[in-house]
Structure 1
C-alpha cells in the first residue's frame, strides 16, 4: 500500500516542470476564455507548445498533433475575436447554427474513424480511437470557440469528461487533474457567456450576431 502511494506521488511529480507549467498555463487560458479575455489566445499558444512535448512523450500522437492545430487556430481565433463581427467589429457571443452542428458531427465521425484507423495500423499509439475521438471533439469545440458560439462549452464538457480517465490511465496525473478542473471552468464559461448573450439581446430581440 505504501509502495503504491509512493509510486503515485512519484508519477505525479515525475511529470516534471514541463508538464506542470503546461498544466498551469492551460488552466489560465481556459479561465481567460471563460472571461472573454483576448489574453486567452497567447497563453493558449504557449501552453499548447508545451503540451506537444508532453503528449508526444506519452505516445498520444493525435493529441500531440491537436496541440499544433490549436496553436494555428488560436492565431486565427485571436483575429476573429477582434474583427470577426459586423463591419470588422469585435465578435459578439452567438448561438451555434444548425449547419454548424451537422458539420461538427460529420467531422467528428470521419476523423475518429479515419485517423483512429491510421494510428492503430501505422503507429504505436496507446489508445488510437479514443485519442482520435477526443481530438475530433476538441477541434470542433475550438472552432465554435473561435466563432464565439455559446455551445462550444457543451463540447468542452463532453471532452473533459473523456480526457480525465484517459490521461490518468497514461499516468499523466497533473494533466488528468487539470481536465477535471476544466469541467468546472467549462460550466463557468457557459454561464458567463449565456449572461453576455442575454445582455446583447436585451436592447432588441431582433438582433442577430455575426
Structure 2
C-alpha cells in the first residue's frame, strides 16, 4: 500500500512547476498505445486503458487534491470514454487478427462515413460546450469539448481501421496543446505536441499500407496477416 501511495503522490519538480509522475506515466502508456496502433497490434488497447486510468485521476485535480487543482472535465471524461471504446476496439482487433500478425487492414472511410465524422465533430462540440460550461470545466470550454468529441471519433475510427482517424488526432492535438499549457498540465501538453508529429507519421504509414495493399504489393513491416480469415469490415 505504501508503494501505491507513493506512486499516487509522487511529483517531479522542475523550477517552479510541479508535475505528477502519474501524468508522465499515463502519457507514456498512451504513447505506447499509439505505437501499437500504428503497428496494428491488439495489445495497444489494454496498454492504453492503463494510461487512461492514470490520467483520469490527474485531470480531476480538484477531486484528488493534486498540486494542480483544476478540473478538465472533457479530459477526464474522455478517459472513461477511452476505456469503453478501447474495450470495443480490443475485441474487434482480436477477432479480426485470428492467428495472424496484424489485427486490422487499414482502409479509407466512405464518403458517408467521412461526412459523419465531420458533422459529429462539429455538432458534438457545439452540443457539449454549454454542458461542460455548466459543470464549470476549464475555459475555453469549447476546446475541452472539441478534444473530448475528437478523441471519441478518433478512437472509434482506429477500431474500425479507418486511415482518417490519424487526422482527427492531429485536429485534437492542435487544440489540446494550448489548452493544456494554459491549464498547467505541462507534461500532457508536451505529449500532445509529440503526438501531433507522431499521428502525422501514423497517417502516412497507414496510407502506404492501404495503397500497397490495393495494388497487391507486400510491405515487409506491415505485410498482410498469414491468417487468411482476416477480412476488412463490411458496411
Q: Please state which band the TM-score falls in when normalised by the shorter chain.
A: 0.7 to 0.9
- Residue 77 (structure 1) aligned with residue 81 (structure 2): no
- Residue 51 (structure 1) aligned with residue 63 (structure 2): no
Q: Give the equivalent residue in structure 2 for 1:157.
A: 170
2:197 to 184, 188, 205: 184
Hey, what's the Cα distance between the residues in 2 that align with 1:45 and 1:195? 28
- Residue 10 (structure 1) aligned with residue 8 (structure 2): no
- Residue 65 (structure 1) aligned with residue 71 (structure 2): no
Cα offset, 1:90, TM superposition: 4.8
Which structure 1 residue ranges, 5 or more long, are not aligned?
1-6
Q: Give the equivalent residue in structure 1 for 2:30.
A: 26
Distance verdict in 2 for CA 1:171–1:92, change over 3 Å? same
- Runs of 4+ aligned structure 1 residues displaced above 6 Å come to none
TM-score, scaled relative to structure 2: 0.77
Cα offset, 1:8, TM superposition: 6.3
Q: How does 1:82-161 map to 2 (within 5 A)?
A: 82-84=94-96, 90-120=103-133, 122-127=134-139, 128-161=141-174
Other structure's SS at 2:60 match: helix
CA contact (8 A) 1:22 1:51 kept: yes
- Residue 166 (structure 1) aligned with residue 148 (structure 2): no
Cα offset, 1:81, TM superposition: 1.6
Hey, what's the Cα distance between the residues in 2 that align with 1:74 and 1:192? 21
Cα offset, 1:155, TM superposition: 0.9
CA contact (8 A) 1:83 1:91 kept: no
Which structure 2 residue ranges, 5 or more long, are not aligned?
1-12, 62-69, 218-230
TM-score, scaled relative to structure 1: 0.85
1:198 to 211, 217, 234: 211
The structure whose residues are more often helix, as a share, is 1
Q: Give the equivalent residue in structure 1 for 2:228.
A: none
Hey, what's the Cα distance between the residues in 2 that align with 1:39 and 1:10? 38
CA contact (8 A) 1:38 1:78 kept: yes
